Copies of this chain bind each other. A is one copy, B any other.
Amino acid sequence: MTIETAIDALRKTLGEKVSTSDAVRDHHGQNESYFAVTLPDAVVFPESTADVQEVVRICAAHACPIVPWGVGTSLEGHALATSGGISLDMSRMDKVLAVHAADMDAIVQPGVTREALNEDLRATGLFFPVDPGANATLGGMAATRASGTTAVRYGTMRENVMAMEVVLADGRAIRVGSRARKSSAGYDLCKLMIGSEGTLGIITELTVRLQGQPEAISAATCTFDSVSAAVEAVQLTIQMGIPMARIEFVDADCIRGFNAYAKTDMPEKPHLFMEFHGTEAGVAEQAERVGEVMSDMGGSAFEWATRAEDRNRLWHVRHNGYYAVKGLRPGCQAVTTDVCVPISRLAEAVEATRADIAASPIEGPILGHVGDGNYHAALLIAPGDAEELKIAKDLAHRMNQRALDMGGTVTGEHGVGLGKKRYMAEEHGDGWAVMGAIKRALDPQNILNPGKVVDLN
């Protein structure tokens, strides 16, 4: 009953689907953030639900931890095997199994990335809207309840995953949710599994909602002289009920990073990046109304990106924001934050964060999905510099505390992983103990991504 005996047993059953090579383990020990490199003992590449069930049964028999892996774009160390054991790489389960155009849904394996799905949908007039920037896998996105630039209009993974197949800690595969658009048939296990970060089950199939390609799309940017004017303009726009498809805040530091990264020449001022979806007339009406709000708040005239290639360039830059911003300090690591507050507190929260970072010795560009009240600072530190790490963590801590004081959350979309667990007791009170009770009931041996989300002791 050890990790070693588990790996021996896995090899016997799964053969070449199991790797203990240094290169493979090393790849699965990396993360996009500042967490220490942590190698799993082995990496397993399942090709079917039956493979996943086999892996879980063997690991359960040997009490070996299992940590699911998508493409490693997580920012909170979720996919690190911090208790050892195996990394379960879902990349070979990458088929789009069905597209139901009439029902506007698709069934996919967890290793399908959002870009691959949208590529597959190109001829159908449909698209999958959730867009975290990174080309993450849909399994990983569901596991962290991801969202991104379009959540303000289309919702997060919470709203866009209708059903899943999940392998439990004892190897049973269950189906949660259904292809019906709504149901009152018992506890919402689908929503419980979404955001559970691999700690309650391993996602082996997803049914996701699709949207019709809008008849008309237009995108624009608008600059402001101050952070607060930009954010207040967003608050007003949302309160007016204008159905923005995207409304993103990007501060002047970010723009500096974007310009360097993508060779653009945007003015180094706070920006809003916006997109409108609808009928031709509807988009024109939305844009006119938003233009009035922005102008009233001191915003510039809109810089339009009407051609598809201009829009794509705009969002490509935004999507690579994390890497662009890290480019401001070559070789740095980033401590990312991810708070989300009620809209009415947003300008105050962003302004306080801005001032706090400005008073510190490190850089921390701010950007965010402000239509949802969600924003990030990327706190740039030198790798291995303990003092800078402490400064960044203190800044992040104040930002998190501020969000909680305002009735918000310490993570709008990145998840808990390793980085946010210390806040769970404060954010949820006794609710965190209830999460622990559910974990214990579903995974009594604590083999599924142990140490993430909850502490079982």
Contacts and interface: CB of A to CB of B under 8 A. Distances in A.
A383 interface: no
B435 A186 contact: yes
A230 B376 CA distance: 48
B180 A409 contact: yes
Contact of A441 (B105, B172, B441): B441
Contacts of A211: 241
Contacts of A173: 430
A183 interface: yes
Contact of A172 (B147, B285, B410, B430): B430
Interface residues of A, number: 86
B438 A187 contact: yes
Copies per complex? Answer: 2
A338 B423 CA distance: 41
A407 B100 CA distance: 12
Contact of A195 (B102, B145, B187, B279): B187
A15 interface: no
Given A188-B195, A285-B279, A341 B453 contact: no
Contacts of A137: none
Contact of A408 (B178, B341, B409): B178
A191 interface: yes
A408 B180 contact: yes
A182 interface: yes
Interface stretch (A29-37, A151-159, A255-263, A298-306): A151-159
A158 B174 contact: no
Q: List the 6 closest pairs (A to B, CB-CB), nearest first.
A: A191-B191, A441-B441, A102-B344, A183-B409, A212-B241, A180-B340
Interface of A: 100, 102-105, 144-147, 151, 156, 158-159, 168, 172-176, 178-189, 191-192, 194-196, 200, 211-212, 214, 235, 239-241, 279, 281-282, 285, 338, 340-344, 372-374, 403, 407-416, 420, 423-424, 427-432, 434-435, 437-438, 440-442, 453-454
